[in-house]
Amino acid sequence: MTTTPLLSTARTALFAPASRPDRVLKAQSSGAQVVIVDLEDAVALQDKSQARENLAELLTGNSEVGALSAPVGVRVNSPRTQAGSEDLRMLAGIGDLGLLDAVVVPKLEEPSQIRAVRSTLPQIQGIVGTIESAAGLLRLEDLAAEDGLIRFATGTLDLAQDLGCTLDSRTMDAARARLVTVSRALGLAGPLDSPTPQFRDLRPVQVAARLAKEDGFTGKACIHPDQVPAVTQAFEPTADEIEWARSVIHAEDGATSVDGSMVEAPVVARARAILDHGQD
């Protein structure tokens, strides 16, 4: 098991269906910082049993299609469902979970869902909770306080449907702001933005990723390898941002302003964050 879960800070996370282990291995060469093997939405009900077997073989190094090159995250079905309970039992039956980076819990609404994962898999070091409903939004503080939760993710389409609003509404803006604020206040990494459906025309992906970064999200999930470079670029500092940050650091001990802005502690902190981010 990795000391610090990749999913705690990853800016790019690529979903791959457990029903297609070949795609999981291909996803690991996509450039994404972490691959999330999906047992939930990407797997049809009739295929879930085989998907669990495929995942177990990948995690134990017994897959016929090849070996994992790095730890992976796993999105289980909701622990409140039979499928989710079976997912957790399967994982608990694997002796060495060194290749399990973190567990992604969908439709997170109650602390009991996190506790179910922790009690079944006490050795795991990270749980990412996906907020997809008003009930989940209402309990963010309680959820963030649970042992093992390292980050929130968003399920934008489901959340908008549950809230009865459009994706670009002020209601969704408020929901996303709440996720960012609670994460920051309670010491979690910034949330992971949900995937953008388009993968042939990458302009919507680029726009959504850039807006997510501006809103305080610190990463974005992808559903196709072609989306990964666009998301990676969007979350990297621009050339203008790096130039500005260097000018601030250079002027810190002398000038009182840069480009008409006072060189005060918050400005310096932002500049250092940009330069540190660019060196990752």
**Taking residues 210-219, what's their average pLDDT?**
96
pLDDT in tens, 5-64: 999 999 999 999 999 999 999 999 999 999 999 999 999 999 999 999 999 999 999 999
Does 166 or 250 have the greater pLDDT score? 166
| Distance of alpha carbon 219 from alpha carbon 215, whole angstroms | 11
Residues, the chain: 280
Helix (H) or strand (E) segment spanning residue 105:
strand 100-105
Mean pLDDT of the chain: 90
pLDDT in tens, 144-167: 999 999 999 999 999 999 999 999
- pLDDT tier at 4 (50, 70, 90 boundaries)? confident
Residue 70, number of CB atoms within 10 A of its CB = 12
pLDDT in tens, 173-196: 999 999 999 999 999 999 999 999
Rounded to the nearest 10 degrees, the angle between the axes of helix 170-185 and helix 156-163 is 120
Inter-residue contact 104 to 79 (CB < 8 Å): no
**Taking residues 201-210, what's their average pLDDT?**
95
Instruction: Quote the tokens at residue 254.
Output: 């002398």
DSSP letter at 190?
Answer: P
**Taking residues 88-113, what's their average pLDDT?**
96
Confidence check: pLDDT of 258 > 70: no
Helix (H) or strand (E) segment spanning residue 228:
helix 227-235
Percent of the chain surpassing pLDDT 90: 80
- pLDDT tier at 237 (50, 70, 90 boundaries)? confident
Confidence check: pLDDT of 106 > 80: yes
**Which pLDDT score is estimated for 138?**
97
Helix locations, 46-202, DSSP H? 48-60, 82-92, 111-120, 134-138, 140-144, 156-163, 170-185
Closest CA to 218 of 242, 244, 267, 184: 184
Confidence check: pLDDT of 280 > 90: no
Confidence check: pLDDT of 1 > 70: no
Does 153 or 271 have the greater pLDDT score? 153
**Which pLDDT score is estimated for 261?**
62
**Taking residues 91-120, what's their average pLDDT?**
96
Strand runs (DSSP E) across 181-271, as ranges?
Answer: 192-193, 219-222, 257-258, 261-262
Confidence check: pLDDT of 78 > 90: yes
| Distance of alpha carbon 154 from alpha carbon 140, whole angstroms | 12
Confidence check: pLDDT of 255 > 60: no
| Distance of alpha carbon 48 from alpha carbon 46, whole angstroms | 6
pTM for the full model? 0.88
Closest CA to 20 of 5, 7, 39: 39
**Which pLDDT score is estimated for 243?**
60
